[in-house]
Amino acid sequence: MDNRNELYSQLKQRTANSTYKKLAVHWLNEALCFVSSPLLANLFLHYVLDKWLVQNFPTVSFVRYADDVVVHCKSEQQSHYVLECIKRRLQECKLRLSEETTKISYCQDYRREKRKDYPKKFDFLGHSFKPMSKESKRESGRFLGFGCEMSMKARTRIIEEWKQMNFQRESTLTLQNLADMLNKKS
């Protein structure tokens, strides 16, 4: 993130405390920027993207964690329009979307027609969001809903971590020992 002037401008406008301003300038000008960059990036995106989305698209809901964002649109047309507007907004702020990870997905469930022109699944923060069979609460049977489960990438990573911990060799572990080992890992 090399948007120091824009970030400093936002901090200057939003921060009354001169100590915080001096600390932020120090972070931005020194190697500490690398340590604090997730915090600064989050602050920057709060003003550059979050507040902008709320102001310009009040009917569109979104979820952002750090620089990962999911925007929920009502129609295909709206999703294309919002995506183009976000691209322009980020360019104005000297940022850009990742072409590799940015995509429009179709959240198919029993109320929506089948579509083959968009992916029906996307991964976000270690979860896969996709159409899945769900049990009906109102009547007996199942229906096609849209839900989430642990992503394959996250599952593979966790299985590999567990294998490296060699639990099968530690047959005398108590539940507390196991919890302590897992807590050390995270």
pLDDT in tens, 11-61: 667 677 777 667 766 666 654 444 456 777 788 888 889 999 999 999 999
**CA–CA gap between residue 43 and residue 80 (Å, rounded):** 26
List C-alpha distances in Å: 44 to 6, 22, 100, 105, 145. Answer: 8, 17, 22, 27, 35
Which pair of structure tokens corresponds to residue 71? 């925007």
Q: Left (φ > 0), alpha (ψ -120 to 50) or beta: where does 125 sit?
A: left
Q: What is the pTM of this model?
A: 0.66
Return the pLDDT at 31: 46
Query: Domain map of the chain by residue range?
Result: 1-121, 153-184
Average pLDDT of the segment spanning 57-74: 89
**CA–CA gap between residue 37 and residue 44 (Å, rounded):** 10
3-class SS of residue 47: helix
pLDDT value at 10 more than 90: no
The position carrying tokens 């995506």 is 83
Average pLDDT of the residues of the chain: 80
Domain 1-121 has CATH 3.30.70.270: yes
**CA–CA gap between residue 145 and residue 111 (Å, rounded):** 9
Return the pLDDT at 29: 63
pLDDT value at 148 more than 50: yes
List C-alpha distances in Å: 156 to 121, 132, 163. Answer: 18, 21, 11
pLDDT value at 174 more than 80: yes
Return the pLDDT at 8: 66
Return the pLDDT at 155: 92
Return the pLDDT at 33: 47
